[in-house]
Amino acid sequence: MRVLLTGSAGFIGSHIAEALTAAGHQVRELDLAAPDRSDVRDAGRVADLLCGIDAVCHQAAMVGLGVDVHDLPDYASVNVHGTAVLLAEMARAGVGALVLASSMVVYGEGAYTCPEHGPVRPGPRPEDALRAGRYEPGCPTCGRPLAPGAVAEDAAPDPRNAYADTKLAQEHLAASWARTTGATVTALRYHNVYGPRMPRDTPYAGVAALFRSRLARGEAPLVFEDGRQRRDFVHVRDVARANVLALEHAHDGPGRGGPRAYNIASGEPRTIGDLAAALALAHGGPEPRVTGGYRLGDVRHIVAAPDRARRELGFCASVAFADGMAEFAAAPVTGS
């Protein structure tokens, strides 16, 4: 298969390029960091790169939760406009299969159950509650404590920051393109990806990168809230393999009923405190420090039910948490 890979020089994209090549596919790369500095918003360049392509793997994006409202134009330009340009040129070129890098952030909070009202979707946590150390969301009807669970792909989206808004917009644009053209879309909703080549700490970096950078400086990882917020950490090589499987199944789309989303996750929830402790252990200390700090817009618990990806794509994460964290702690630190 001949695949156009956008974001090919990035953290995840570079691993996908290697995995596709190892699987015998031909990869054509598009990335601002590539030698020709190709931009997904450049319609002419995108059209050139689409010639002779069988499928597109779209990873190019501005990532992170956003620092403030001034980030909105950049997120919209790269993630939304860039995707729109790509889809329009794919339609002109007759390329009808897309694998899209989406994210678990489209869900907002994860799945919760109230003992009285059943499944519920709590709203954003108010700042006064966070400031007082009340981190767990309550039932939106009765306020009682909730039992967190695993979110499945049919959960209603509830994006809560600029990045999440644009990732959901990408899914919507791709779905409209697929309905109009008869093409297929596979949206891979990545959970917390980590591993070699993860960029060093920037205002937009993931928590694993921030913890590792502090450890490299001999500083304790600073854990927000009480450290008990739950996530699903999935290794970047597993994510790359999921993309290869999705591309190899891409032309099965019409039989699945059109655009299809998949949680790409390990299926083994861990806390942020677990993450910090595992990295500190692998690095030889210092021990993490729980600060009680918080960020507005962060969710408390978001873990995945990855069953659909296993059934339909044959994907199952293979890198164990302890092994992956030990490797990540020792991996060379890359630029931002």
Q: Which residues does the chain have with pLDDT short of 50? A: 254-255, 257
pLDDT in tens, 122-166: 989 999 999 999 999 999 999 999 999 999 999 999 998 889 999
Give me the pLDDT at residue 205, please: 67
Give me the pLDDT at residue 69, please: 84
Give me the pLDDT at residue 254, please: 46
| Both structure tokens of 81 | 């406009």
Give me the pLDDT at residue 202, please: 62
Pairing of strands 230-231, 118-120: unpaired
Give me the pLDDT at residue 35, please: 83
Give me the pLDDT at residue 144, please: 93
Amino acid identity for residue 309 in this structure: A
Give me the pLDDT at residue 255, please: 41
Listed in sequence order, the residues at least 6 apart from 165 whose beta carbon sits closer than 8 Å to its beta carbon are 75, 159
Listed in sequence order, the residues at least 6 apart from 283 whose beta carbon sits closer than 8 Å to its beta carbon are 212, 215, 216, 329
pLDDT in tens, 87-132: 999 999 999 999 999 999 999 999 999 999 999 999 899 999 999 9
Identify the CA nearest to 161 among candidates 97, 107, 220: 107
Pairing of strands 303-304, 147-151: parallel
Q: Within 13 A of 33's CA, how many CA atoms are on the CB side?
A: 12
Q: Cα separations (Å) of 86 from 38, 63, 75, 100, 218?
A: 12, 18, 16, 11, 44
E-state strands within the chain: 2-6, 26-30, 55-58, 97-103, 111-114, 118-120, 147-151, 184-190, 192-194, 222-223, 230-231, 233-235, 260-264, 270-271, 289-290, 303-304
Identify the CA nearest to 219 among candidates 201, 233, 232, 234: 201
Amino acid identity for residue 231 in this structure: R
In degrees and rounded to multiples of 5, residue 190 shows phi and psi of -65, 140
Give me the pLDDT at residue 263, please: 98
Give me the pLDDT at residue 227, please: 98
